[in-house]
Every structure is written in C-alpha cells, then in structure tokens.
Amino acid sequence: MNFFLRWACLAIFACCSIWLRSGTVTTKDGQGHSGLVTFEDSDHLTVGPPKGPRKKIPLKNVVAATFDIPADPEMFESGTPSAGKGYGILAAYYDRPNFKGRVIYRIDRTINHQWRSRQPVFDLPRDYFSVRWAGELEPPVTGEYTFTLNANDGGRLMVGGLTLGKWEALSGFREVGKLALEAGKRVRFEFDFFDNYGEASARVLWKGPGFQESPISPTQLYPDTNKAPKGFKSRSGLLGCYYQNRFFYGDGMLSIDPKMDFSPVTPPEEFPDKNYSVRWTGQLEAPYTEEYSFKISTDEGVRLWVDQLLVINELSNRAPRVFTGKVPLHRGERIGVRLESVHRAGQGNLKVVWSSKSKPESVLGGERVYPSFEPAEVKDEGGGEGDESQTLGVFSWAGSRIASSPVSVDDSSVKFSRGTYPERISTINVSRIVMRPVPVKYRNRITDNRMGVLLANGDFVEGQMQSFDNDTLVLNSVLFGVKVYGIDQVMAIVLAGIKAPTKTSRFKLRIENGSQFYVRGFRVDDKDIIVDDPSVGKMRIPLTEFNELRAIDR
C-alpha cells in the first residue's frame, strides 16, 4: 500500500470512528475488556471490536476505563517490527541560560527530568542554566501522536512540523500538541530549555497508536551527529568530547569511544597535536556490590569521577605514571562516570582499568559501560505529587482541576481561552488559581485556613482578591491595604479551602489536557458527552478528549 493510499484509509477510518475510542474497561468483578470504548447511554459503556458484537457494561460496575489502546510493553523491544534501533538524544548542558558559557555534552536516553532544586549535571549551577536536546525521532507505527511538554521554566519543543512551548522566565507550564507521523520515517527532534530560578523540570511525553502516554522510548530516539564527523558507531563505551584547548571550553567534536585504552589518544584531524582536552561521559553498571578499584595509566593530566565522587585528581600530571582510586558500588545500579584528560605535549597515552574482589581487572568499556544516561528517579520529598505540573491550574472547592491558566477573573466568573473545557467557571466555585508550579518548599504555605496570594519569591500575602486580568492582580491585603501585583510576581491565588468531592460524585475523569473532574453523571448528546461536575457545572466534552475514567473509592 503506497503512502497516499495508506493515509486515505486512515482518514476514512478516522471519520468513521469519531464516536469511538480504543481502550480498556475494568469491572468490579476483576474482569478486563479491551477494544473500542464508547458511551451507549448515560448509564452504560460498550466495549468491543468496531464491527461485530460489543459488550454492554453498566457504569455502576465500572472500576476504571481508559479511552486509548492498552499499553504494549513489547512494542519497543528489540526485534519487534515496530522497534527502532536508537539509544537516546544528544544533550548539551550550558552553565548559562542563553546556550553560552561552559557546555557539557552527554546522551540522554529520554527527556524525563525533574531536577527540582538539584543540579542538572553535578558541577553545573542549580539555577540559570540551559539545555539543548537534538536528534531524530522514529515513529514505531503510522498514525496520530500526542506530545505533552512539561517545563519549568521555559521550553520549546520542535518535532516534525509541530512546535510547542513558552519561552518565558518562571513560566512553568504543560502544553499538548498532536502530529501525524509515518512508521519508520524519522523526523527532526529538538527541545530547548532554560531555568531561571527555583525548581526546574523538563519532560517530554508521547502517546500514539498502540501505547499510552509515557516518556519517549530510547529505541525511537537518535542523537544528533552534527558534531560527530565519524558518526556514533558504537553503542557501548563513553561519549568523548574533544576540545581545541586545555580547559574543556567551547564547542567540541564528539565520538563514542568503546574502550578507554589509547596509545595515544587521537583527536579529530583538524586538531593540533598538543594543547587539547577530552571529556568522556557515560554510565557504568557494577556486576557485584563491593568496593571497586580504578587504575589509570597515563603521561598526561587526568581526573576521574565515579558517582559524582572525585576518585582521581591529577590534572597537572606530565609524566608516565599510574594513579588509583577506590569507590563502593552496588550491583545492577547505573551510575555516572566522567573522565577528563589534558594533552599538553606528551605521548598522549591513556588506559583505564577497573576491578573488584569478584571482578577481574579489565579495560573500562564493553557491555557494562554506556554512553547514555538514564534520568534520575524522582523521589517524593514530602511535598505531594512527583509531577509538579499537577499543581498547575484552577481548582474547584471539591478538588476538580482545570489544567489551564485563566484569561480573566472577576466577582462572577473565571474565564479561559476558547477550546478549554469548560470555557468559564463561576468564581464562587473556585478555591485556588495556580499560575506556576509550586516548589515543594513552598507548598505548605498554601493552606485551607488563610486566603491570599503566594508570590514567586515564596512570600504569602493574606487578603482578598479584588480583580485579575492578563497583566495584574489587585489584592485587598489584611496588613498592607490595596496591593497591585504583576502576574509575573504571582505563583498562586487562594480564594477558599478545598474539600473532598461531594458524596454524589461517582467518577474521577481525566481528559487529554490534564484536567480532572469529579463527576456525578453523564449525558450522551450527539458526538459529545455532557459531563456533570457538582463543583464546576455541566460542560460539553468530546469523547475524543476523554483519557481515563475511574470510580471514586468510598
């Protein structure tokens, strides 16, 4: 089937299935039913194939329903028809927010970083840094893909013909876009990010035919090779960045070097034969839990970090010597390794070996050494959700969340941009308006027993909001009288406390843009569903926007 015929068939199928979505329904008796899911009427779902018998399920028996094809964990495994052969995306980490200054290159397996107040790379600053990810994306199947960008502060994603993002300081946000892609046809993938001050995060998620929303699989990402004249031919070893100076500064030339054994280290052809430097980065995996010894034989200056620990620090060396260092490692844990070498005028020989009580000495490289980095696991720091984008939006008094910034607020209503569900909500139903992700260290300053404004600097000013528009917020402060704040100064507005969902609410509904509602009932109306949330009101939402429905456990 040629390209145009295939797309024609997809278009016909899309027109025929506007009413139908694919997913899974789980019932209270533990049964799971997969297929095309839709509302039969206000009290029933149906699930099954597009043609043929479909199962009718009473809503009262539903524990959960998803409106996408169930996740297929084998889709990206090596050897399957849809799996790519990638291994990550090239990342350039700069110590300034304008892609200037000192840069550290590495290959990230995916973009799923929630640094919060930690350093993005261990010797880069916690604030005022920038990152540029570049490479290609290979779609596993043909169809429509949904990309979700979460960033704090500014970020701009460009994939194929789709552009998402905001390039503003202190503008933590979530943005969603859709793009039709063809299986196996790579498209350009770039993501620029900067952090201004405070907590930082950068996440790109995708969803497509056959899988639910998740970080992009490394097998579908390929690093940019513009700075790698010979390409990236090896999938094991360390990523070497060669600089035309002795200070690891400026742009470098890249190569994946499979083993740290050089006689001598050979720079790119255009480099001089002296006064250059090399930084190798990657991760290694220990086969046993015990202390490991690292030994470097060289006639040049050298430094070695293992798991952010400076194990060897001999950058001023100029004579043939052997340096050793020890560090404890845990079996199966991937930890970062960085090796730096300065070539002045010697032979340029370099050899790194590692060993332990149970592991014989061998050259650093091979199957347990990787040029790419796994994102660090995000741990709960006592501040609530790991995904800080979940703090964004307008919250009702019953906990429903509209994941969109309001256009205006007055005494009668909160209004949103066209296409938001809903486009307005009565002000009396609103408890909080969160403009930017609230850092963990500030979240306890928002409580149900005091009203006011949480400012970007962490100060909470008690008072009652008088008005709000695109540019300013007017607050009648308890201590300071009438205060006017620019929107860029405001992190959150607290109007009232948040209570539990009403007893009449039966389901928690999550839709495509991240909004969630506590729903007491549905009504089928043509191609839309009328959703009844007691704390938000009734709203018309297309079934194509439904993501997940889950019964409230009481």
Average pLDDT along the chain, 554 residues, taken 10 residues at a time: 38 35 81 86 87 87 80 55 84 91 92 88 88 96 90 92 86 84 95 88 88 88 88 88 89 91 81 86 95 95 93 91 95 94 83 95 92 74 48 90 85 86 93 83 85 90 84 86 88 90 94 91 88 95 89 86
Structure tokens at 550: 């889950």
Cα 38 to Cα 56: distance, rounded to the nearest angstrom: 10
Residue 323 to residue 22: CA distance in whole angstroms: 60
Question: What gap in Å lies between CA 258 and CA 286, rounded to an integer?
Answer: 17
CB 194 within 8 A of CB 154: yes
Residues 305, 337 contacting (CB under 8 angstroms): yes
Amino acid identity for residue 450 in this structure:
R
Which CATH entry fits the domain spanning 3-66: 3.20.20, 2.30.29, 2.30.30, 3.40.50?
2.30.30
pLDDT at 105: 94
- Give the pTM: 0.73
Residue from 456, 458, 465 nearest 414 by CA: 465
Domain with CATH 2.30.30 in the chain: 3-66
Q: Where are the beta strands (DSSP E) in 330-468?
A: 334-343, 350-356, 362-363, 369-370, 372-373, 393-396, 401-402, 408-409, 413-415, 424-426, 430-434, 452-455, 460-468
> Cα–Cα distance between 188 and 294 in angstroms, integer?
39
What amino acid is encoded at 33 in this protein?
A: H
**Hey, what are 554's tokens?**
């009481």
Written as one letter, the residue type at 302 is V
**Exposure pattern of 458-474 as b/e (b: 16+ CB <10 Å)?**
eebbebebeebeeeebe
Distance, CA of 282 to CA of 291 (rounded, Å): 20
What is the distance between the alpha carbons of residues 453 and 435, in angstroms, rounded to a whole number? 11
Residue 90: per-residue pLDDT: 96
pLDDT at 256: 93
Q: Return the amino acid letter for 515.
A: S
User: Which pLDDT value is given to residue 269?
Assistant: 74
In contact, 452 and 492? CB cutoff 8 Å: no
Residues of the chain with CATH 3.90.182.10: 89-223, 238-370
Instruction: State how far the Cα of 9 lies from the Cα of 368, in Å rounded to an integer.
Output: 46
Q: What is the full DSSP assignment across 299-332?
A: SSEEEEEETTEEEEEETT--S-EEEEEEEEE-BT
Q: Is 250 exposed, middle or buried (0-12, 13-18, 19+ CB in 10 A)?
A: exposed
Q: What kind of fold does domain 238-370 have according to CATH?
A: Toxin - Anthrax Protective Antigen; domain 1 (3.90.182)
Q: Output phi, psi for 280, to 5 deg.
A: -105, 135
CA 196/CA 191 separation, integer angstroms: 17
Bridge partner list, 99: none
Say which residues have a Cβ less than 8 Å from residue 541's Cβ, sequence separation at least 6.
421, 511, 528, 529, 531
Sequence-distant (6+) residues with CB within 8 A of 553 are: none
Domain range 89-223, CATH class: alpha beta
Q: Are 524 and 42 in contact (CB under 8 A)?
A: yes
132's tokens:
């540029």
In contact, 477 and 463? CB cutoff 8 Å: yes
- Dig out the tokens for 420 from the structure: 């938001």
Q: Are strands 187-195 and 32-41 parallel, antiparallel or unpaired?
A: unpaired
